[in-house]
Amino acid sequence: MSELVFVGLFAMLVLTAIAAIRLTDLFAVVIMFSVYSLLAASLFVAMDAVDVAFTEAAVGAGVSTILMLATLVLTDRWEKPRKNKALLPLVVVSITGAVLLYGTLDMPDLGDQNAPIHQHVAKRYLSDSGQEIGVPNVVTSILASYRGYDTFGELIVIFTAGVGVMSLLGGRRKKKKVENNDT
């Protein structure tokens, strides 16, 4: 059942990416990227990486969508047609994708108990985190203590992205007020 969820989410990611590439309405492209980000967050949740899913949803679907919508206010809504079709970017992306796929061939199956990642610290976290950290919930002890710097870094990314968007949007409003007063 879980493999079907992964395949379904990944298929929807691919279809959303293709739709975003093919569209010429930039508003629709922004919405497609937001949907793509929410699907990626769902995929992270399915892989039990809730902290990464939260960051992806907040930054990818939230802050990035707001920033792209604010950019659309300053630009034209429709993409201008290209005069030539560049083949080089397609070749570079295809080669990069093939190399990345080749790199995953040696990876263990998802959730495999014999995978190297499950042979070292995972057992110690499960058995000793209650005594070492003093928190009865293993997930909380890992996110708050063992991976505290990582979680703190993710929060900094979310905060910085939010402040950046607010600064960009706030700067636009002030400039507009000055222009209106001159006329």
pLDDT at 180: 56
pLDDT at 182: 56
Q: How confident is the model at residue 100 (pLDDT cuts 50, 70, 90)?
A: very high
Q: What is the mean pLDDT of the chain?
A: 82
**Model confidence pLDDT, tens digit, residues 121-180:** 777 888 888 888 887 888 878 777 777 777 788 788 888 887 877 787 775 554 545 555
Which range, 4-8, 57-61, 100-104, is most confident? Answer: 100-104
Would you list the DSSP string of the chain? Answer: -HHHHHHHHHHHHHHHHHHHHH--BHHHHHHHHHHHHHHHHHHHHHTT-HHHHHHIIIIIIIIHHHHHHHHHHHS-SBPPPPSS--SHHHHHHHHHHHHHHHHTTTSPPTT-TTSGGGTTHHHHHHHHHHHHH--S-HHHHIIIIITHHHHHHHHHHHHHHHHHHHHHHHHHHHHHHHHHHH-
pLDDT at 37: 93
Mean pLDDT of 69-74: 85
Mean pLDDT of 109-113: 80
Residue scoring higher pLDDT (6 or 120): 6
Least confident of 15-19, 34-38, 92-96, 136-140: 136-140
pLDDT at 171: 59
- Report the percentage of the chain scoring pLDDT > 70: 92
pLDDT at 151: 75
